Amino acid sequence: MTTSISPQVTATLNENSAADTAPAQLGRILVALDASEHANKALEEVVRLAKSADGVVTGIHAYAAMLHDRRFKMMEGGLPERYLEEEEMGYQREVHDDLITRGLNIITDSYHDAGKEVCDAADVAFRRLSPEGKNYAKVVEAARSGDYDVLAIGALGLGAIPGSLIGTVAERVVRRSPIDTFVIRDPKLSVGDGPIVVGVDGSPLSYGALMTALDLAARTGADVHAVAAYDPYYHYVAFNKIAGVLSEEAGKVFRFKEQEQLHEELIDDGIAKIYQSHLEVAETIADDLGVKLVTKLLDGKPYKAVRDYLDTVGASLLVIGKTGVHADDELDIGGNAENLLRMAPCHLWLTQTTYTPPLDLVAEETVSWSVEAEKKISRAPEFVRDMARRMVLRHTQKLGHTFVTSDIVDQVMGKAMPGFSGNTADTERELAWSDAAEKLLASVSDAAVADNIRLRAIKRARRGHSDKVMPKHVTPFLDLTDSDRPVWSAAALARTAKVPEMVRATVKAGIEDLALERGIKEISFALAEEGVVEARKAMCPIPAAEDETEAKPEPEGPDVAEAPIAWSPEAEDRLTRVPEGFMRDMTKKRIETFARSSGVDAITLELVEEKYAAWGEGSAKRKSDMARTSDAAARIERIPDFIRPMVVQEIERCAREMGLETVTGAAIDKAGEAWENLGAFHSKEAPGQYEK
C-alpha cells in the first residue's frame, strides 16, 4: 500500500518552516561527488527531491593538490636510481606539476559534468563547487557556510571494500555537519521503495524528524511509520550491579533501595507509557495533516530494536535526530544515531531541524507550576524528568487548568509509576531457569556479557509474568549462530502464519522453547502444531461467554469430548469463512461442544448459524467507546465480525488498565499475553489482570 499524501500537505508542512525549523528545506541541496555508486545514487535521490521543491543542486568535490605536491616532494629521495639524475628528476617534477595543476581539475570537472548531465535531464539547476583541500574538511566547510539546507553523501566512497560499514570521509562529515545530512547506504534502493521510518523520543529534534519524514513521504509517495524504542532492561542490570558493590551503610546514605524501587516501577510500566505518549502526539500531528501514521512501540536496546524493525518492514529511509532526548551541548552525534549510521540497512536522514508540537508549546507558555508540584516532579529520575513534565502539562491542559498542582502530578505519574506516591513494592521472587535457557546462557563465553544477559533475561521473564526463565527470555539478547537457533521448516512457518497476529509472536516463541528444551534442530509441522495446541489450551480466546449472564463454558466431559460428530457439507462450507488456523479450529471446537451439550449428533448449517447468531447477540452488547491507532484498527478489523465487539471490549479494558486513552498495538499485545497467562479469554473473574 502506498500512502496518498496530497500536494497540499507538502505546502502546509513548508508554509511556516524557517531554516532551523522542520521540515527541512530542499531548495538548496549540497551533494558530495566522487563517481562512486553511493555518490551517484545520492545525486539521483537529491535531484528528485530538488525537482519537487523547485530547488538547486550543488555538487562538491574537493581535490587536495597541495597535499599531493607535499607528498611527492617527500618521496623524491626514495625514488629508484634511474630517477635520481637531475634531468630525469626535473622531467618527473614537470609531469607531476602538470598532474597537480591540470589533472586533478580535469577529474573534478568530469565529476561535475556527469552531475550536470543528470540535473539537466530532470530540468534541475546545477552548480559546481571545487575547493582545494582535505576532502572531508572542505565538505564540512561548505555545509557550515549557511548556503545550503541539506547535505547528501554516500556512506561509502571509492575506497570501499567488502564488509565496509561507513567510510572515513562520510563519518567525519556526518559528525561535523551542522545541517540535515542524507546518507546513502544502498545504491540499489530508492526512497519510496519501502516505508519511511521515523524515530520519536519526545525531543524537538525527533518531532522535527517526523515533520521531515511526512514531507519526504508527500514527495515520494511512501508510507510513514513512527517508532519509539526504549530499553526496560538496562536499569535493572545497572541497579543489580551497583547493589553488588555498595555497602549497607552506603546504600542507606544514597537511599538506594528507594531509588531502586522507583526505577523498577518506572521501568515496568512508566517508560513504556511515556514513549507511547510520544507516538500518540506523533499520530495527532499526522492526523492534523490528514496523514495516517503507522506507529510501533519497541523494547530492547534502541538502535538494535529500530534496526530489526527496518528489516521487518523493508524500510527505504530512516529519519532520526542527530542527537536524542538525553543529549548535551557537547555531543556531536547520539549513540543510537551513531550505531544506526553504521548498521541501518536503508538510507539515513540525520536531522538537525526542530519542531515543537503546538500542544506542548502552548502548555509550556500558559501553564504554571505550584512549588509542591515542582518538588514532586523532581522525584522522577532525571533521565525521564523532561518527558514526565510534558505528560503532566498535556494532562493539565486537557483538564482545562492553567496551574499544575501536586495532585495532578500524582494522578498522571501514578499511572506511569505505581510507586510514585510512596507505595511499596513487593519483594521480588527468585525465578527458576529451564535447562535450555541455562544452556543458551552458558554458550556466552564472556562472563561479563553473560551476567548482563542473565539479568536482562530475568527482567524479561518478570515482565511477562513468567515463573521460569525460558529460552524465549534469553534469545532476544543473544547473537546466536544459525547452527544454534532452531530452523523452521516451510510447513511449520505456514502453520504459525495462520495464528492470529496478536498472539503469533508468543506462540512462535513457545514453539521455539519446545524445540530448544528437546534439543530439536529443525521445527517440523508436527512440532508447530503441538505448540499451537498448547497455546490454544492456555489462551482459549474465542468464543467464550456469549453474554454477561453466560460466563461459564459449555460442559465438555472427557467421554463426549472424544465422541465423533458429523458435519453437513453446508455447515463445513460455512465454517471455512472463518480465517483458517487458530480461529477456525477454536470455532469448530466450540460448535461441537455446543452440539454435544444439546444432544445433537450431526452439525447442520442451521445449528452453525444459530451459534453464530448467539455469539453475535452477546458480542453486540459490548460497546466500543475508545479511539484506536491506525495499526490497532487494522488488527482489530481482522477479527471475525460476530465476535469482534466482545474482543474489542476486552482490549479496551486492557488499554484503560494500562492508563491509555487510545487503543494501541501495545494494548492488543498486552491483552493477548494476559489471556495466555490467565488461561481464558474473558477476564472479569480476574480484575486488574492487565495492570500486572
Residue carrying C-alpha cell 453486540: 620
Q: What's the CATH number where 254 sits?
A: 3.40.50.620
The answer to whether residue 221 is domain-embedded is yes
Q: List all residues 6 or more positions away from 421 whose beta carbon is below 8 Å from its beta carbon.
A: 410, 413, 414
Helices 234-243 and 256-265 pack at an angle, to 10 degrees, of: 160
DSSP 71-125: HHHHHGGGS-GGG-SHHHHHHHHHHHHHIIIIIHHHHHHHHHHHHHHHHHHHT-E
Rounded Cα distance, 338 and 323, in Å: 9
Report the Cα 426 to chain-centroid distance in Å: 32
Query: Sign (positive/negative) of CA torsion 446, 451, 457, 460?
Result: negative
146 Rama sector, left if φ>0, alpha if ψ -120 to 50, beta otherwise? left
Query: Would you say 444 and 478 are in contact if contact means Cβ atoms under 8 Å apart?
Result: yes
Its pTM stands at: 0.57
Mean pLDDT of 614-629: 67
pLDDT confidence bin for 473, thresholds 50/70/90 = confident
Is residue 8 in a domain?
A: no
280 & 258 share domain: yes
- The three cell numbers of residue 517 are 528444551
Residues 211 and 151 in one domain: no
Question: Does 511 map to a domain?
Answer: no
In a domain, 216, yes or no: yes
Higher pLDDT, 240 or 212: 212
Supply the DSSP symbol for 27: S
Give the SS3 label for residue 659: coil
Asked if 191 contacts 162 with a C-beta cutoff of 8 angstroms, the reply is no
pLDDT tens-digit profile of 358-404? Answer: 766 556 655 778 888 888 887 776 656 776 787 787 777 777 676 78
Distance in angstroms (rounded) separating the CA atoms of residues 520 and 516: 6
Averaged pLDDT, 483-496 = 78
Whether 71 and 209 map to the same domain: the answer is no
Angle of helix 302-313 relative to helix 335-343, nearest 10 degrees, comes to: 40
Task: Check whether 309 has a pLDDT greater than 60.
Answer: yes
Are residues 175 and 202 both part of a single domain?
Answer: no
Q: What's residue 181's pLDDT?
A: 96
Q: Who has greater pLDDT, 645 or 529?
A: 529
Residues 225, 180, single domain; the answer is no
How long is the chain?
692
| In a shared domain, residues 76 and 179 | yes
pLDDT of residue 330: 76
pLDDT tens string 150-193: 999 999 987 776 778 899 899 999 999 999 999 999 999 999 99
Give the cell for residue 637: 478489523
Distance CA 692, CA 679 (A): 15
Residue 307: pLDDT band by 50, 70, 90 thresholds? very high
Closest to 427 in 3D by CA, of 462, 451, 375: 462
Domain membership of residue 201 (yes or no) is yes
> What's phi and psi for 448, nearest 5 deg?
-65, -45
Identify the CA nearest to 677 among candidates 582, 539, 510.
539
- Single out the residue in 163, 184, 205 at which a domain terminates: 184
pLDDT of 74 above 80? no
DSSP class per residue in 466-489: -SEE-HHHHGGG----TTTSPEEP
Q: Which three cell numbers stand for residue 159?
A: 575506497
Between the alpha carbon of residue 146 and those of residues 84, 140, 174, 178, the distances in Å are 49, 11, 16, 9
Q: Strand, helix or coil at 506? A: helix
Distance CA 606, CA 391 (A): 54
The confidence score (pLDDT) of residue 350 equals 95
| DSSP assignments along 515-569, one per residue | HHHHT-SEE-HHHHHHHHHHHHHHH--SS--SSTT--SPPP--HHHHHS--EE-H
Which range is least confidently modeled, 341-345, 427-431, 567-571?
427-431
Greater confidence, 343 or 686?
343
Record the cell numbers describing residue 71, joined without a space: 607528498
Number of domains in the chain: 3
Range of the domain at 93: 21-184
In terms of domains, do 129 and 53 share one? yes
Q: Are residues 115 and 149 in the same domain?
A: yes
Pairwise CA distance, residues 160 & 154, whole Å: 11
- Among 321, 351, 381, the domain boundary falls at 351
Domain limit, last residue, from 184, 215, 249: 184
Q: Is residue 450 part of a domain?
A: no
Judge whether 348 and 316 are in contact, CB under 8 Å: no
Is there a domain that residue 381 lies in? no
Domain co-membership, 230 together with 284: yes
Decide: 391 and 416 in contact? Cβ < 8 Å.
yes
d(Cα 528, Cα 655) in Å, to the nearest integer? 31
Task: Examine residue 490 and state whether it is found in any structural domain, yes or no.
Answer: no
Q: Does residue 147 sit in the same domain as residue 290?
A: no
- Residue 353 has φ and ψ, to the nearest 5°, of -95, 145
* Closest listed residue to residue 459, CA positions, set 449, 448, 471, 469: 469
Place of cell 534502541: 302
As a whole number, mean pLDDT of residues 520-539 equals: 79
> Are 178 and 201 members of one domain?
no
Q: 160 and 33, same structural domain?
A: yes
- In angstroms, the CA 157 to CA 15 distance is 36
Distances (CA, A) of 540 to 535, 544, 587, 683: 8, 8, 10, 12
